[in-house]
Chain A
Amino acid sequence: MTTTQGAPVRTSSSAAGLLRGEWVKARSLRSTWYVLGGSLVGMVLLGLLFTSTADTGGPSGNGGGPPGVDFAQPLTLALAGYNLAQLALGVLGVLLVTGEYASGTIRTTFAAAPRRWPVVAAKAAVLGALVLVTATVAALVSYAVGSAVVDGMPGLGEDGVLRVVLGTALYLTAITLLGSALGWLLRSTAGAVATLFGFVFLLPVLGGLLPADWGPDVVRWLPSSAGGSLLRLTTTADQFAPWNGFAVLVGYVALGLAAAVWRLRTRDA
């Protein structure tokens, strides 16, 4: 049976094949590169903006700025662009999944790889690797640019500094994968993006309105607050210790992806 010229076709569906397929899918969309490049450039430029205006009390001149930016700490200032980057990268995580549902290619994907969990895992691995590399570069460049602009930047060898710089990249990767999990669960771009932003931006703000005696105990368990501990040189009693907090965020990601696999197995594609 050869419709087609050539030797009989042999197949070997494998983990390597799945990863390669997801890599081809991610790299063949221009939006992937726009988001990754935009996040990198945006994060570095914002860091430059904050560090270069640090003397005058931040860009607005009154010490105001994004929540969580401590204008007394040059390191936090240099990396403050992560706030914007997580938005773009989270959307990328959503889009690489919901784009398949919107275009219908998800059916072709599952026809080629009928088992659901390896597809979810391969997509997460490829996306995670892409974002980890990009965010690591962005964090290191932001740090270097900040060091050149502002006085008093702690050295990479100082306590916790390297952890904060590389932790920024880890945090951004985790938020991206959270977006991916929400994409699988909700299948709609708008729904998943709104939910992600709700978790990352809205809930911490609403949490601030809770009574002071128990509010902080709730807020520190939120994904962005818990994961954000990794980005602080020093944490307060209201916050998780850096790696504990990050472990909580990773727990949310794992839970989200596991729920996604369960949902895919029980629901029609």
Chain B
Amino acid sequence: MIELRGLTKRYGERLAVDDVTVTVRPGVVTGFLGPNGAGKSTTMRMVLGLDRPTAGSALVNGKPYAEHRDPLRQVGALLEARALHPGRTARAHLQALAATAGLPSSRVDTVLELAGLTAVAGKRVGGFSLGMGQRLGVATALLGDPATVVLDEPVNGLDPDGVLWIRTLARRLAAEGRTVFFSSHLMAEMAVTADHLVVLGRGRLVADVPTAEFLRRAGGDGVRVRSPRAAELAALLAGPDVTVESAETGVLLVRGVPAEVVGDRAAQAGIALHELTAVQASLEEAFMALTADDREYRTEEQPA
């Protein structure tokens, strides 16, 4: 469990994180979304006691991180890709950390195995690919068998296999009752991995909602229908909870009626359909709509 209470971080004039109050609950994967510079990494660093909040507090499992006697048992974090010394082997990196935190060295072999790095454990990290570095970062995060797992952009640089691995791992950790707080700028990834979304825009909390709700707000699911008699069909489908839009002639976007009903009604009326597709609202669209005013770096602001 992570509790942010009025969390604020100011760098000079700039508010990196602006009065954010959120509770990240155990048992679900919470996605942390936001454009670059929105304050996601700063928030995560404050959760880990690395940066001091200007105001407010970040509590982990009920206490500030630094007050835990067994911090790695409480929170495991992957903060940035490659917080690894290139001259050290993967095993030595984990052994040093295990010793520092007072964890048994058997955990080192366990997490190496878990991350699929056993075969390269004795190799220096400098020769690792980006993906292997990420895997070692995840192994580092899980070293203390933590109740809360914080992953900052864990799928960056991973191949499709690795992405699937992270997704499965995040869901499994949540299913085990852990708190999983997972940031990504890949919104498609969030749609399939996260149960709940926390969205930041320019340091401010923009949304704190279940993923399904976020998608529904984006316009919800709909049905795309293509028919030579689209106008007649639109009149036929009209109802109190039904919206019908038409972006081009002969194509309708129908919301509020499932695809089966649209097909059946068309058949009864003898209207030919050339296409009948269920469409899901995209997380991208929802995100863009929500953060339109809050993007730190907008293309139109770039000097010509």
Contact = CB atoms under 8 A, between A and B. Distances in A.
B101 A104 contact: no
A3 B99 contact: no
A18 B65 CA distance: 18
Contacts of B69: 11, 13
Contacts of B86: 103
A21 B97 contact: yes
A111 B98 CA distance: 12
Interface residues of B, number: 53
A24 B105 CA distance: 12
A12 interface: yes
A29 B87 contact: yes
A190 B113 CA distance: 38
Nearest to A102: B85
Contacts of A107: 45, 48, 50, 79-80, 83
Interface in B155-198: 172-173, 176-178
Given A3-B114, A20-B99, A24-B95, A104 B80 contact: yes
Nearest to A106: B83
B266 to A, nearest CB: 51
A14 B99 CA distance: 9
B5 interface: no
B70 interface: yes
A12 B140 CA distance: 18
B144 to A, nearest CB: 6
B107 interface: yes
Contacts of A262: none
A198 B210 CA distance: 58
A113 B82 contact: no
B132 interface: no
Contacts of A152: none
Given A3-B176, A103-B84, A115-B66, A110 B49 contact: yes
A84 interface: no
A109 B104 contact: no
A9 to B, nearest CB: 4
A23 B88 CA distance: 13
B100 A109 contact: yes
B50 A25 contact: no
A38 B145 CA distance: 41
A114 B83 contact: no
B92 A9 contact: no
A23 B176 CA distance: 35
Interface in B80-128: 80, 82-89, 92-93, 95-104, 106-107, 110-111, 114
Nearest to A18: B100
Given A1-B177, A20-B99, A111-B77, A9 B144 contact: yes
A155 interface: no
Nearest to B98: A21
B72 interface: yes
A100 B142 CA distance: 21
A268 B49 contact: no
Contact of B102 (A1, A13, A25, A114): A13
B102 A14 contact: yes
B216 interface: no
Interface in A160-188: none
B162 to A, nearest CB: 17
B111 A4 contact: yes
A114 B49 contact: yes
A108 B145 contact: no
B60 to A, nearest CB: 11
B185 to A, nearest CB: 20
- Specify which of B52, B66, B83 lies most central, judged by the most chain A CB atoms within 10 Å of its CB: B83
B260 interface: no
B44 to A, nearest CB: 10
Contact of A104 (B65, B82, B176): B82
B145 A4 contact: yes
A17 interface: yes
Contact of A4 (B79, B87, B110): B110
B6 interface: no
Given A4-B114, A11-B70, A111-B50, A105 B147 contact: no
A110 B85 contact: no
A236 interface: no
Interface of A: 1-6, 8-14, 17-18, 20-25, 28-31, 99-100, 103-105, 107-115, 268-269
- By Cβ-Cβ distance, the 7 closest A-B pairs, closest first, are A21-B100, A28-B92, A104-B83, A114-B66, A11-B70, A21-B99, A20-B99
Given A3-B172, A4-B110, A17-B100, 6 more contacts: A1-B145, A3-B173, A9-B104, A29-B88, A103-B82, A268-B50
12 contacts: A2-B145, A3-B145, A10-B104, A11-B70, A17-B101, A99-B85, A103-B83, A104-B79, A111-B48, A111-B50, A112-B72, A114-B71
